[in-house]
Structure 1
Protein backbone atom coordinates (compact mmCIF):
# COMPACT_ATOMS: atom_id res chain seq x y z
CA UNK A 1 0.00 0.00 0.00
CA UNK A 2 1.45 3.32 -1.06
CA UNK A 3 1.16 6.15 1.47
CA UNK A 4 -0.51 9.38 0.51
CA UNK A 5 1.92 12.24 1.09
CA UNK A 6 0.86 15.84 1.50
CA UNK A 7 2.73 18.80 2.91
CA UNK A 8 2.08 19.76 6.52
CA UNK A 9 3.48 23.24 6.35
CA UNK A 10 3.99 26.17 8.63
CA UNK A 11 6.86 27.66 6.71
CA UNK A 12 9.71 29.24 8.57
CA UNK A 13 12.76 30.77 6.89
CA UNK A 14 15.35 28.10 6.23
CA UNK A 15 19.01 28.91 6.63
CA UNK A 16 21.21 28.85 3.56
CA UNK A 17 23.34 25.73 3.39
CA UNK A 18 26.60 24.76 1.75
CA UNK A 19 26.71 21.34 0.17
CA UNK A 20 29.41 18.89 1.22
CA UNK A 21 31.57 18.79 4.30
CA UNK A 22 34.13 21.49 3.51
CA UNK A 23 35.03 23.89 6.28
CA UNK A 24 34.13 27.46 5.41
CA UNK A 25 36.41 30.43 6.01
CA UNK A 26 35.31 32.75 8.79
CA UNK A 27 36.61 36.29 8.81
CA UNK A 28 38.24 37.34 12.13
CA UNK A 29 35.57 40.01 12.49
CA UNK A 30 32.88 37.31 12.39
CA UNK A 31 34.69 35.27 15.04
CA UNK A 32 34.91 38.38 17.23
CA UNK A 33 31.19 39.01 16.72
CA UNK A 34 30.42 35.42 17.74
CA UNK A 35 32.47 35.83 20.92
CA UNK A 36 30.69 39.07 21.78
CA UNK A 37 27.29 37.47 21.22
CA UNK A 38 28.19 34.55 23.47
CA UNK A 39 29.38 36.94 26.18
CA UNK A 40 26.18 38.95 25.94
CA UNK A 41 23.95 35.84 26.09
CA UNK A 42 25.89 34.62 29.12
CA UNK A 43 25.29 37.96 30.84
CA UNK A 44 21.59 37.78 30.01
CA UNK A 45 21.33 34.29 31.49
CA UNK A 46 23.66 34.65 34.50
CA UNK A 47 23.34 38.31 35.39
CA UNK A 48 25.14 41.63 34.79
CA UNK A 49 28.18 40.56 36.84
CA UNK A 50 29.10 38.29 33.91
CA UNK A 51 29.14 41.17 31.41
CA UNK A 52 32.72 41.93 30.24
CA UNK A 53 33.73 45.50 31.03
CA UNK A 54 35.01 46.15 27.50
CA UNK A 55 31.99 44.78 25.65
CA UNK A 56 30.11 48.10 25.48
CA UNK A 57 31.16 51.74 25.59
CA UNK A 58 29.47 54.25 27.86
CA UNK A 59 28.50 54.49 31.54
CA UNK A 60 27.77 51.20 33.28
CA UNK A 61 24.27 52.35 34.24
CA UNK A 62 23.36 53.03 30.61
CA UNK A 63 24.75 49.66 29.57
CA UNK A 64 22.56 47.93 32.16
CA UNK A 65 19.47 49.77 30.92
CA UNK A 66 20.23 48.64 27.38
CA UNK A 67 20.81 45.07 28.54
CA UNK A 68 17.44 45.03 30.32
CA UNK A 69 15.70 46.12 27.13
CA UNK A 70 17.60 43.52 25.15
CA UNK A 71 16.81 40.83 27.74
CA UNK A 72 13.09 41.53 27.38
CA UNK A 73 13.41 41.31 23.60
CA UNK A 74 15.29 38.00 23.78
CA UNK A 75 12.81 36.56 26.28
CA UNK A 76 9.92 37.48 24.02
CA UNK A 77 11.69 35.98 21.00
CA UNK A 78 12.16 32.69 22.84
CA UNK A 79 8.49 32.53 23.78
CA UNK A 80 7.50 33.28 20.19
CA UNK A 81 9.90 30.58 18.96
CA UNK A 82 8.17 28.02 21.18
CA UNK A 83 4.75 29.13 19.97
CA UNK A 84 5.84 28.81 16.34
CA UNK A 85 7.43 25.42 16.93
CA UNK A 86 4.44 23.90 18.76
CA UNK A 87 1.27 25.54 17.35
CA UNK A 88 -0.88 22.40 17.52
CA UNK A 89 0.24 21.65 21.06
CA UNK A 90 -0.67 25.20 22.06
CA UNK A 91 -4.09 24.84 20.43
CA UNK A 92 -4.77 21.59 22.31
CA UNK A 93 -3.83 22.74 25.81
CA UNK A 94 -4.79 26.40 25.39
CA UNK A 95 -2.70 29.53 25.10
CA UNK A 96 -2.61 30.37 28.82
CA UNK A 97 -1.39 26.94 29.95
CA UNK A 98 1.05 26.74 27.05
CA UNK A 99 2.46 30.13 28.00
CA UNK A 100 2.89 29.04 31.62
CA UNK A 101 4.71 25.88 30.54
CA UNK A 102 6.87 27.86 28.12
CA UNK A 103 8.01 30.36 30.74
CA UNK A 104 8.91 27.56 33.17
CA UNK A 105 10.63 25.59 30.41
CA UNK A 106 12.86 28.55 29.57
CA UNK A 107 14.03 28.58 33.18
CA UNK A 108 15.37 25.01 32.94
CA UNK A 109 19.17 24.59 32.91
CA UNK A 110 20.69 24.76 29.45
CA UNK A 111 17.53 25.74 27.58
CA UNK A 112 18.41 29.38 27.01
CA UNK A 113 21.82 28.39 25.72
CA UNK A 114 20.18 26.99 22.60
CA UNK A 115 19.74 28.92 19.38
CA UNK A 116 16.15 29.97 18.70
CA UNK A 117 15.83 27.18 16.11
CA UNK A 118 16.73 24.62 18.79
CA UNK A 119 14.95 26.15 21.76
CA UNK A 120 12.24 23.44 21.84
CA UNK A 121 14.50 20.41 22.33
CA UNK A 122 13.13 18.32 25.20
CA UNK A 123 9.87 20.26 25.46
CA UNK A 124 7.89 17.00 25.14
CA UNK A 125 9.62 15.51 28.20
CA UNK A 126 9.06 18.75 30.10
CA UNK A 127 5.33 18.64 29.35
CA UNK A 128 5.13 15.09 30.70
CA UNK A 129 6.95 16.19 33.86
CA UNK A 130 4.42 19.03 34.21
CA UNK A 131 1.54 16.54 34.20
CA UNK A 132 0.36 16.80 30.61
CA UNK A 133 -0.97 13.64 28.99
CA UNK A 134 1.22 11.31 26.91
CA UNK A 135 -0.81 12.37 23.87
CA UNK A 136 0.00 16.06 24.39
CA UNK A 137 3.68 15.31 25.00
CA UNK A 138 3.83 13.12 21.90
CA UNK A 139 2.15 15.85 19.85
CA UNK A 140 4.94 18.19 20.93
CA UNK A 141 7.45 15.52 19.91
CA UNK A 142 5.79 15.20 16.50
CA UNK A 143 6.00 18.96 15.96
CA UNK A 144 9.64 18.99 17.06
CA UNK A 145 10.51 16.14 14.68
CA UNK A 146 8.66 17.99 11.91
CA UNK A 147 10.92 20.98 12.54
CA UNK A 148 14.01 18.75 12.47
CA UNK A 149 12.90 17.39 9.10
CA UNK A 150 12.37 20.95 7.92
CA UNK A 151 15.90 21.98 8.91
CA UNK A 152 17.59 18.73 7.86
CA UNK A 153 20.47 18.85 5.40
CA UNK A 154 19.46 19.04 1.76
CA UNK A 155 19.97 15.82 -0.20
CA UNK A 156 18.77 14.55 -3.57
CA UNK A 157 16.25 11.75 -2.90
CA UNK A 158 16.48 8.49 -4.78
CA UNK A 159 13.69 8.06 -7.34
CA UNK A 160 12.29 4.86 -8.79
CA UNK A 161 13.04 6.13 -12.28
CA UNK A 162 16.75 5.98 -11.46
CA UNK A 163 16.43 2.23 -10.83
CA UNK A 164 14.60 1.41 -14.05
CA UNK A 165 16.51 -0.78 -16.48
CA UNK A 166 19.26 -1.75 -14.08
CA UNK A 167 20.64 -5.28 -14.09
CA UNK A 168 18.94 -7.25 -11.28
CA UNK A 169 22.24 -8.11 -9.60
CA UNK A 170 23.40 -4.50 -9.76
CA UNK A 171 20.04 -3.38 -8.38
CA UNK A 172 20.27 -5.70 -5.38
CA UNK A 173 23.82 -4.51 -4.71
CA UNK A 174 22.86 -0.81 -4.77
CA UNK A 175 23.37 0.80 -1.36
CA UNK A 176 20.68 3.04 0.10
CA UNK A 177 20.85 5.48 3.00
CA UNK A 178 18.08 7.13 4.96
CA UNK A 179 17.44 10.67 3.72
CA UNK A 180 18.62 13.22 6.35
CA UNK A 181 15.04 14.43 6.81
CA UNK A 182 13.32 11.03 6.93
CA UNK A 183 11.86 9.50 10.07
CA UNK A 184 9.06 7.01 10.66
CA UNK A 185 7.63 6.04 14.04
CA UNK A 186 4.34 5.36 15.79
CA UNK A 187 2.86 8.12 17.92
CA UNK A 188 0.18 8.25 20.58
CA UNK A 189 -3.35 7.76 19.29
CA UNK A 190 -4.20 11.42 19.91
CA UNK A 191 -1.44 12.49 17.52
CA UNK A 192 -2.65 10.18 14.76
CA UNK A 193 -6.18 11.51 15.19
CA UNK A 194 -5.15 15.18 15.15
CA UNK A 195 -2.87 14.84 12.13
CA UNK A 196 -5.49 12.59 10.55
CA UNK A 197 -7.87 15.55 10.40
CA UNK A 198 -5.72 16.85 7.53
CA UNK A 199 -4.29 13.54 6.30
CA UNK A 200 -6.99 10.88 6.76
CA UNK A 201 -4.66 7.96 5.98
CA UNK A 202 -2.55 8.81 9.03
CA UNK A 203 -5.42 8.32 11.49
CA UNK A 204 -5.38 4.52 11.44
CA UNK A 205 -1.80 4.04 10.26
CA UNK A 206 0.66 2.12 12.41
CA UNK A 207 3.28 4.86 12.05
CA UNK A 208 3.81 8.33 10.60
CA UNK A 209 6.53 9.11 8.06
CA UNK A 210 8.20 12.54 7.82
CA UNK A 211 10.31 13.46 4.80
CA UNK A 212 11.50 16.61 3.05
CA UNK A 213 12.67 15.48 -0.39
CA UNK A 214 12.34 19.01 -1.79
CA UNK A 215 11.22 22.24 -0.09
CA UNK A 216 8.16 21.11 1.88
CA UNK A 217 7.94 18.58 4.68
CA UNK A 218 5.70 15.67 3.71
CA UNK A 219 3.67 13.75 6.26
CA UNK A 220 2.63 10.25 5.18
CA UNK A 221 0.94 7.18 6.57
CA UNK A 222 3.43 4.38 7.13
CA UNK A 223 3.45 0.78 8.32
CA UNK A 224 5.68 -0.57 11.06
CA UNK A 225 7.49 -2.51 8.34
CA UNK A 226 8.33 0.76 6.59
CA UNK A 227 9.57 2.22 9.88
CA UNK A 228 11.79 -0.82 10.41
CA UNK A 229 13.19 -0.69 6.88
CA UNK A 230 13.94 3.02 7.21
CA UNK A 231 15.68 2.47 10.54
CA UNK A 232 17.74 -0.33 8.97
CA UNK A 233 19.02 2.17 6.40
CA UNK A 234 20.48 4.44 9.05
CA UNK A 235 23.81 3.31 7.64
CA UNK A 236 24.47 2.33 4.02
CA UNK A 237 22.54 -0.87 3.30
CA UNK A 238 22.03 -2.70 0.02
CA UNK A 239 18.60 -3.17 -1.50
CA UNK A 240 19.21 -6.92 -1.31
CA UNK A 241 19.74 -6.73 2.44
CA UNK A 242 16.63 -4.61 2.90
CA UNK A 243 14.56 -7.09 0.91
CA UNK A 244 15.90 -9.90 3.10
CA UNK A 245 15.46 -7.92 6.31
CA UNK A 246 13.40 -10.07 8.72
CA UNK A 247 10.78 -7.49 9.59
CA UNK A 248 7.63 -9.54 9.12
CA UNK A 249 8.58 -13.19 8.50
CA UNK A 250 6.38 -15.77 6.83
CA UNK A 251 5.03 -18.58 9.04
CA UNK A 252 8.09 -20.66 8.18
CA UNK A 253 10.40 -17.90 9.44
CA UNK A 254 11.66 -16.68 6.06
CA UNK A 255 11.51 -12.95 5.23
CA UNK A 256 8.38 -11.78 3.41
CA UNK A 257 10.25 -10.26 0.47
CA UNK A 258 7.03 -9.16 -1.26
CA UNK A 259 6.00 -7.10 1.76
CA UNK A 260 9.54 -5.76 2.07
CA UNK A 261 9.50 -4.75 -1.60
CA UNK A 262 6.19 -2.92 -1.20
CA UNK A 263 7.46 -1.08 1.85
CA UNK A 264 10.73 -0.21 0.12
CA UNK A 265 8.94 1.15 -2.96
CA UNK A 266 6.59 3.20 -0.77
CA UNK A 267 9.56 4.73 1.06
CA UNK A 268 11.35 5.55 -2.19
CA UNK A 269 8.20 7.20 -3.54
CA UNK A 270 8.04 9.32 -0.39
CA UNK A 271 11.64 10.50 -0.86
CA UNK A 272 12.94 8.67 2.21
CA UNK A 273 16.22 7.39 0.71
CA UNK A 274 19.34 8.65 -1.00
CA UNK A 275 21.82 6.59 -2.99
CA UNK A 276 24.82 5.82 -0.78
Structure 2
Protein backbone atom coordinates (compact mmCIF):
# COMPACT_ATOMS: atom_id res chain seq x y z
CA UNK A 1 0.00 0.00 0.00
CA UNK A 2 1.36 3.38 -0.94
CA UNK A 3 1.41 6.07 1.78
CA UNK A 4 -1.12 8.88 1.53
CA UNK A 5 0.30 11.95 -0.28
CA UNK A 6 -0.07 14.18 2.78
CA UNK A 7 1.77 11.58 4.91
CA UNK A 8 4.66 11.49 2.46
CA UNK A 9 4.81 15.27 2.41
CA UNK A 10 4.79 15.47 6.22
CA UNK A 11 7.51 12.83 6.47
CA UNK A 12 9.72 14.93 4.19
CA UNK A 13 8.73 18.29 5.67
CA UNK A 14 9.10 17.63 9.40
CA UNK A 15 12.59 16.19 10.10
CA UNK A 16 14.50 19.40 9.35
CA UNK A 17 12.21 21.61 11.41
CA UNK A 18 14.14 21.24 14.66
CA UNK A 19 17.63 21.33 13.17
CA UNK A 20 18.67 24.79 12.00
CA UNK A 21 21.64 23.46 10.01
CA UNK A 22 19.56 21.00 7.99
CA UNK A 23 18.83 21.85 4.40
CA UNK A 24 15.32 22.93 3.53
CA UNK A 25 13.56 19.83 2.16
CA UNK A 26 13.40 19.83 -1.61
CA UNK A 27 9.70 19.04 -1.47
CA UNK A 28 9.06 22.51 -0.02
CA UNK A 29 8.45 25.00 -2.80
CA UNK A 30 6.64 28.26 -3.25
CA UNK A 31 4.38 29.52 -6.06
CA UNK A 32 5.45 28.42 -9.53
CA UNK A 33 8.07 26.11 -8.03
CA UNK A 34 10.19 28.88 -6.55
CA UNK A 35 12.30 28.31 -3.45
CA UNK A 36 10.48 28.60 -0.14
CA UNK A 37 13.60 28.45 2.04
CA UNK A 38 12.94 31.78 3.72
CA UNK A 39 9.37 30.88 4.62
CA UNK A 40 10.44 27.45 5.83
CA UNK A 41 13.11 28.96 8.07
CA UNK A 42 10.58 31.36 9.58
CA UNK A 43 8.25 28.44 10.25
CA UNK A 44 11.16 26.41 11.66
CA UNK A 45 12.03 29.20 14.06
CA UNK A 46 8.40 29.58 15.14
CA UNK A 47 8.12 25.85 15.90
CA UNK A 48 11.25 25.92 18.05
CA UNK A 49 10.16 29.06 19.91
CA UNK A 50 6.73 27.54 20.57
CA UNK A 51 8.29 24.40 22.04
CA UNK A 52 10.67 26.42 24.19
CA UNK A 53 7.72 28.46 25.45
CA UNK A 54 5.87 25.24 26.24
CA UNK A 55 8.80 23.99 28.31
CA UNK A 56 9.04 27.34 30.09
CA UNK A 57 5.35 27.08 31.01
CA UNK A 58 5.82 23.56 32.37
CA UNK A 59 9.07 24.29 34.22
CA UNK A 60 8.81 27.88 35.55
CA UNK A 61 10.86 27.17 38.68
CA UNK A 62 13.67 25.69 36.59
CA UNK A 63 13.66 28.79 34.37
CA UNK A 64 13.70 31.07 37.41
CA UNK A 65 16.65 29.16 38.88
CA UNK A 66 18.73 29.22 35.70
CA UNK A 67 17.63 32.51 34.21
CA UNK A 68 15.70 32.85 30.97
CA UNK A 69 18.71 32.89 28.62
CA UNK A 70 20.27 29.75 30.09
CA UNK A 71 16.91 27.98 30.18
CA UNK A 72 16.07 28.76 26.57
CA UNK A 73 19.49 27.62 25.36
CA UNK A 74 19.17 24.39 27.32
CA UNK A 75 15.62 23.86 26.07
CA UNK A 76 16.74 24.36 22.47
CA UNK A 77 19.25 21.51 22.80
CA UNK A 78 16.59 19.30 24.38
CA UNK A 79 14.15 19.99 21.57
CA UNK A 80 16.68 18.82 18.98
CA UNK A 81 17.31 15.65 20.98
CA UNK A 82 13.67 14.86 21.79
CA UNK A 83 11.10 16.24 19.33
CA UNK A 84 7.40 16.03 20.22
CA UNK A 85 5.56 12.76 19.78
CA UNK A 86 2.10 14.05 20.74
CA UNK A 87 0.00 16.93 19.40
CA UNK A 88 -0.78 17.88 23.03
CA UNK A 89 1.76 20.43 24.22
CA UNK A 90 1.24 19.62 27.90
CA UNK A 91 2.52 16.11 27.13
CA UNK A 92 5.78 17.52 25.81
CA UNK A 93 8.90 17.68 27.93
CA UNK A 94 8.56 14.47 29.93
CA UNK A 95 12.21 13.71 29.17
CA UNK A 96 13.38 17.20 30.12
CA UNK A 97 14.35 16.36 33.74
CA UNK A 98 16.52 13.48 32.51
CA UNK A 99 18.07 15.76 29.91
CA UNK A 100 18.87 18.34 32.61
CA UNK A 101 20.59 15.63 34.67
CA UNK A 102 22.88 14.92 31.69
CA UNK A 103 23.31 18.52 30.55
CA UNK A 104 26.94 19.47 30.97
CA UNK A 105 26.31 23.14 31.69
CA UNK A 106 23.86 22.34 34.53
CA UNK A 107 26.33 20.29 36.56
CA UNK A 108 26.81 23.13 39.00
CA UNK A 109 23.10 22.80 39.87
CA UNK A 110 22.85 19.08 40.78
CA UNK A 111 19.38 19.51 42.29
CA UNK A 112 17.91 21.14 39.18
CA UNK A 113 16.75 17.89 37.57
CA UNK A 114 14.82 16.91 40.71
CA UNK A 115 13.11 20.30 40.82
CA UNK A 116 12.11 19.64 37.20
CA UNK A 117 10.74 16.21 38.19
CA UNK A 118 8.54 17.86 40.80
CA UNK A 119 7.29 20.37 38.22
CA UNK A 120 6.48 17.56 35.78
CA UNK A 121 4.65 15.68 38.53
CA UNK A 122 2.76 18.90 39.34
CA UNK A 123 1.46 19.11 35.78
CA UNK A 124 0.54 15.43 35.67
CA UNK A 125 -1.33 15.80 38.95
CA UNK A 126 -3.18 18.81 37.56
CA UNK A 127 -4.41 16.77 34.58
CA UNK A 128 -5.14 13.58 36.54
CA UNK A 129 -8.63 12.20 37.07
CA UNK A 130 -10.80 13.61 39.85
CA UNK A 131 -11.63 11.54 42.92
CA UNK A 132 -13.19 12.33 46.27
CA UNK A 133 -10.67 12.23 49.16
CA UNK A 134 -11.59 9.99 52.08
CA UNK A 135 -12.24 11.49 55.49
CA UNK A 136 -9.75 10.38 58.18
CA UNK A 137 -12.72 9.37 60.31
CA UNK A 138 -13.06 6.34 58.04
CA UNK A 139 -10.20 4.71 59.93
CA UNK A 140 -12.23 4.81 63.12
CA UNK A 141 -14.73 2.38 61.60
CA UNK A 142 -12.05 -0.29 61.00
CA UNK A 143 -11.63 -2.94 63.69
CA UNK A 144 -8.13 -2.79 65.27
CA UNK A 145 -7.34 -6.37 64.20
CA UNK A 146 -8.06 -5.41 60.58
CA UNK A 147 -5.83 -2.34 60.37
CA UNK A 148 -2.65 -4.12 59.31
CA UNK A 149 -4.36 -5.75 56.33
CA UNK A 150 -5.89 -2.54 54.99
CA UNK A 151 -5.20 -1.55 51.39
CA UNK A 152 -5.29 2.20 50.76
CA UNK A 153 -6.56 3.42 47.39
CA UNK A 154 -4.46 6.46 46.53
CA UNK A 155 -5.85 9.48 44.67
CA UNK A 156 -5.12 9.26 40.89
CA UNK A 157 -3.25 12.57 41.03
CA UNK A 158 -0.79 11.41 43.68
CA UNK A 159 2.88 11.29 42.75
CA UNK A 160 6.11 10.77 44.71
CA UNK A 161 9.44 12.38 43.83
CA UNK A 162 12.51 11.41 45.80
CA UNK A 163 15.60 13.59 45.85
CA UNK A 164 19.08 13.54 47.34
CA UNK A 165 18.77 17.32 47.58
CA UNK A 166 16.41 19.89 49.09
CA UNK A 167 14.33 19.84 45.90
CA UNK A 168 10.98 20.43 47.65
CA UNK A 169 12.21 23.55 49.43
CA UNK A 170 13.90 24.87 46.29
CA UNK A 171 10.76 24.18 44.24
CA UNK A 172 8.51 25.98 46.73
CA UNK A 173 10.83 28.98 46.94
CA UNK A 174 10.86 29.36 43.15
CA UNK A 175 7.19 28.81 42.37
CA UNK A 176 6.00 31.60 44.64
CA UNK A 177 4.56 29.06 47.09
CA UNK A 178 6.79 29.84 50.05
CA UNK A 179 9.54 32.27 50.91
CA UNK A 180 12.84 30.84 52.00
CA UNK A 181 16.06 32.29 53.29
CA UNK A 182 19.27 30.36 53.00
CA UNK A 183 18.63 26.81 51.75
CA UNK A 184 20.96 23.91 52.47
CA UNK A 185 20.56 22.16 49.13
CA UNK A 186 22.41 19.06 50.34
CA UNK A 187 19.58 17.94 52.66
CA UNK A 188 17.61 15.07 51.02
CA UNK A 189 13.88 15.72 50.59
CA UNK A 190 11.00 13.69 49.19
CA UNK A 191 7.87 15.25 47.70
CA UNK A 192 4.21 14.30 47.79
CA UNK A 193 2.30 15.79 44.88
CA UNK A 194 -1.48 15.42 44.64
CA UNK A 195 -4.67 17.30 43.78
CA UNK A 196 -7.56 16.59 46.14
CA UNK A 197 -9.62 19.51 44.81
CA UNK A 198 -8.87 22.20 42.24
CA UNK A 199 -5.37 23.03 43.44
CA UNK A 200 -2.27 20.87 43.24
CA UNK A 201 -0.59 20.22 46.60
CA UNK A 202 3.17 19.78 46.91
CA UNK A 203 4.50 18.98 50.35
CA UNK A 204 7.50 17.50 52.07
CA UNK A 205 7.15 13.88 53.12
CA UNK A 206 8.41 12.85 56.57
CA UNK A 207 11.15 10.20 56.99
CA UNK A 208 10.15 6.96 55.32
CA UNK A 209 7.09 8.59 53.82
CA UNK A 210 8.19 8.22 50.20
CA UNK A 211 8.71 4.47 50.54
CA UNK A 212 5.48 4.12 52.51
CA UNK A 213 3.41 5.96 49.93
CA UNK A 214 5.11 4.22 47.00
CA UNK A 215 4.19 0.87 48.52
CA UNK A 216 0.60 1.98 49.08
CA UNK A 217 0.37 3.13 45.45
CA UNK A 218 1.55 -0.31 44.33
CA UNK A 219 -1.24 -1.99 46.33
CA UNK A 220 0.63 -3.15 49.44
CA UNK A 221 -1.27 -3.76 52.65
CA UNK A 222 -0.64 -1.31 55.48
CA UNK A 223 1.66 -3.67 57.38
CA UNK A 224 3.74 -4.36 54.26
CA UNK A 225 4.07 -0.66 53.45
CA UNK A 226 5.02 0.20 57.03
CA UNK A 227 7.67 -2.53 57.14
CA UNK A 228 9.23 -1.28 53.90
CA UNK A 229 9.20 2.29 55.21
CA UNK A 230 10.94 1.24 58.44
CA UNK A 231 13.62 -0.53 56.42
CA UNK A 232 14.06 2.66 54.40
CA UNK A 233 14.11 4.94 57.44
CA UNK A 234 14.33 3.76 61.08
CA UNK A 235 12.69 7.03 62.18
CA UNK A 236 9.52 6.31 60.19
CA UNK A 237 6.39 7.12 62.20
CA UNK A 238 3.26 5.35 60.99
CA UNK A 239 0.70 7.63 62.66
CA UNK A 240 2.36 10.81 61.38
CA UNK A 241 2.50 9.50 57.83
CA UNK A 242 -1.09 8.26 57.74
CA UNK A 243 -2.34 11.55 59.18
CA UNK A 244 -0.33 13.49 56.60
CA UNK A 245 -1.73 11.50 53.69
CA UNK A 246 -5.32 12.01 54.82
CA UNK A 247 -4.71 15.72 55.43
CA UNK A 248 -3.30 16.08 51.91
CA UNK A 249 -6.35 14.33 50.45
CA UNK A 250 -4.20 11.55 49.01
CA UNK A 251 -6.42 8.64 50.11
CA UNK A 252 -9.76 7.87 48.43
CA UNK A 253 -10.84 4.51 49.88
CA UNK A 254 -9.93 1.64 52.21
CA UNK A 255 -10.38 -2.05 51.47
CA UNK A 256 -9.28 -5.28 53.13
CA UNK A 257 -6.33 -7.12 51.68
CA UNK A 258 -7.22 -10.41 53.35
CA UNK A 259 -9.04 -11.65 50.28
CA UNK A 260 -5.97 -11.44 48.05
| TM-score, scaled to structure 1 | 0.66
Q: 1:267 & 1:39 partners in 2: Cα distance?
A: 52
**Whole-Å separation in 2 of the counterparts to 1:177 and 1:71:** 46
Q: Is 1:263 aligned with 2:230?
A: no
Quote the residue 1:248 is aligned against.
Answer: 230
Name which of structure 1's ranges 93-102 and 184-193 shifts more when overlaid on structure 2.
184-193
* Distance change (3 Å), C-alpha of 1:40 and 1:151: farther
The answer on whether the counterparts of 1:182 and 1:212 sit within 8 Å (CA) in structure 2 is yes
In 1, the alpha carbon distance for the partners of 2:213 and 2:8 equals: 38
Distance in structure 2 (CA, Å) of the matches to 1:46 and 1:147: 29
When residues 184 and 113 of structure 1 are mapped into structure 2, their CA distance, relative to the original with a 3 A threshold, is closer
Counterparts of 1:138-149 in structure 2, within 5 Å, are 138-149=114-125
| Separation (CA, whole Å) in 1 of partners of 2:74 and 2:26 | 28
Report the Cα offset of residue 85 of structure 1. 0.8
Q: 2: CA distance between counterparts of 1:143 and 1:38?
A: 37
Count of aligned residue pairs for this structure pair: 231
1:65 CA displacement: 8.3
CA distance in 1 between counterparts of 2:195 and 2:178 reads 16
Q: Deviations over 1:139-168 (max 9, x none)?
A: 222211221222222222222133333444
Structure 2: runs of 5 or more not aligned? 1-5, 18-23, 256-260
Question: What does 1:1-276 align with in structure 2 at a 5 Å threshold?
Answer: 40=10, 43-46=13-16, 71-108=44-81, 110-114=82-86, 115-128=88-101, 129-132=103-106, 133-169=109-145, 172-197=148-173, 198-199=177-178, 206-243=189-226, 245-248=227-230, 259-275=237-253
Q: CA RMSD in A?
A: 3.9
- How far is 1:89 from its partner? 0.9
5+ residue gaps, structure 1: 1-35, 53-57, 250-254
Q: Which one has more relative contact order, counting CA pairs under 8 Å at least 6 apart?
A: 1
Offset, 1:41: 8.0
Displacement of 1:95: 0.8
Q: Which moved more, 1:215-224 or 1:121-130?
A: 121-130
- Give the secondary structure class of the aligned counterpart of 2:192: strand
Contact 1:177 / 1:237 at 8 angstroms: preserved in 2? no
Partners of 1:42 and 1:267 lie apart in 2 by 51
Residues 206 and 141 of structure 1: CA distance in aligned 2, closer, same or farther (over 3 Å): closer
